[in-house]
Chain A
Amino acid sequence: MDMKMRSKSGKRGQVFAIDVLFSILPVMMILGASLQYAYLGEEQMKILSADSQRQGAMQALSEHVMAEYRSSPDGQPYVTAEPDYACGGLKDAIGNAPGMPQGYEYHVRVEMPSSSEEHICLDDELWSHGGTQLLDAYYVGMESSTRLPGASGIRFMLEYDEEGRPIPGQIAGVSFTVWDADPADYAKT
C-alpha cells in the first residue's frame, strides 16, 4: 500500500501533501469548534439535569403538603396567623413526609393576609440573609453567593383562624424551597 492515489489519467499524486493539509484546515477548525461546543453542551446538560431534579424535589414536597391539606377533614396542615401555631402543622407534615430525597435542605415560608409578618416555617436562618425577594415563582432556579443552587415554588391555601376554621377570602401563599445541601453539613449527618 502506498500513500499515492491515481488520477483519472493514471498519474500518481501524493495525498498527504502540504497543500492538502492546508485546505483541510477549515474542516479541522470546524471540527474543533464543534467538539468544544459539544463539551459545553454536556456541561450545560449536567446543570439542567440537576436543576430539574431539584425542581422535582420541590414539587414533590409541595404536592405532599397540599395533598395532606386537601384530604384531611379539618384542613390540616393549615396555616394560621396565630403566632404560636403558625407553622406547626406544616412542620409536622414535612417532618412526617416519607422518603424525601437526600442531599437537599427543605424550607417553607408562609405569607398570610391578616399578618404583616412572614412566618418562616423551617430554618429561620435562611430568610435572615435577606432572601425575601427570591421565592415566589414556581420552578425558579436560584443561586446566591452565599448559597448553593435552589428551586422554589408557591402554592395557595386559605388561612384558618385560631379555632381551626377557614377564614373566607384570606388566601395565604406558601412558598416551598429546596436548596442543595452544603456537602460539609450533609457529611456530618
Chain B
Amino acid sequence: MMRRKGLVAILDGLLAYTVAFTAIGLVALLSTTAQEANLKTTYTLNVWAEDLADAVGMSLTDGAEDPTRWLDPDSIGDEKEAEIREALTASLGRIEARLGVQIRVEAGADTIYGDRLAGVGESATAKRFLVSSGGSVSVLKVEVGI
C-alpha cells in the first residue's frame, strides 16, 4: 500500500472507521429489532398458557369433592374422565383454530390433549401441581406454541 501522508492519511482513517461503525451498527439494529418483536409474543404465550393451565386444572375435579383440589386423571373415575377429555378436546380445539396456536396438555403420566408441538417458532409452558388419591403429587403441564 502506498504510504499516505498528512491530511489524506487522516481521511483514510476516518473512512475506514466510518465503514466499520456503520456495518456494526446496522447488524446490531437488525438483530435487536427482531428480538424486540419476540418479547410481546413470549409474554402473550405465557399468559395464555397460564390461563389455560388454571382452567384445565379446575376441570380436573371429581364433582363431589373440593373444586380447588385438582386431581390427577388417574384418580378421577373413568366416566368422569372421559367427559372431561371430550369437553377439553372441543374447547381447546376451538381455541387452537381461533388463535392459530398448538396446544398440548399433559396431566401426570397421560397426555389429555394434543401431540408434541411440531413446527412451532416459540412456545410457552405452564405447570401446576395435581394430587392423586394416594397423596402423591404429579404435574399438569400445558404447552402453547405458535
Chains A and B form a bound pair = yes
Show the binding face of A for B, using Cβ within 8 Å.
66, 70, 113, 136-139, 154-158, 165-171, 173
Chain A hits for B12, CB < 8 A: none
Report the bound CA distance from A138 to B67 in whole Å: 29
A170 contacts B91, CB within 8 Å? yes
Chain A hits for B44, CB < 8 A: 137-139
Chain A nearest CB: distance from B57 CB in Å?
10
1/0 per residue, CB under 8 A from A, across B107-136: the answer is 000000000000000000000000000000
User: Is B139 positioned at the interface, with any CB of A under 8 Å from its CB?
Assistant: no
Chain A hits for B80, CB < 8 A: 168
Chain B nearest CB: distance from A2 CB in Å?
22
A168 contacts B60, CB within 8 Å? yes
Chain A hits for B40, CB < 8 A: 138-139
B51 contacts A158, CB within 8 Å? no
Contacts known (A166-B59, A168-B59); A136 close to B99, Cβ less than 8 A? yes
Q: Is the interface of A mostly helix, strand, loop or mixed?
A: strand
Pick 11 A–B contacts, CB within 8 A, sort by A.
Answer: A113-B90, A113-B91, A136-B98, A138-B40, A156-B48, A158-B58, A167-B87, A169-B86, A170-B87, A171-B95, A173-B98
Contacts known (A168-B87, A169-B83); A113 close to B60, Cβ less than 8 A? no
Chain A hits for B90, CB < 8 A: 113, 169
Report the bound CA distance from A13 to B84 in whole Å: 91
Chain A nearest CB: distance from B117 CB in Å?
18
A168 contacts B61, CB within 8 Å? yes
Report the bound CA distance from A137 to B95 in whole Å: 11
B55 contacts A157, CB within 8 Å? yes
1/0 per residue, CB under 8 A from A, across B48-74: the answer is 100110111011110100010000000
User: Is B104 positioned at the interface, with any CB of A under 8 Å from its CB?
Assistant: no
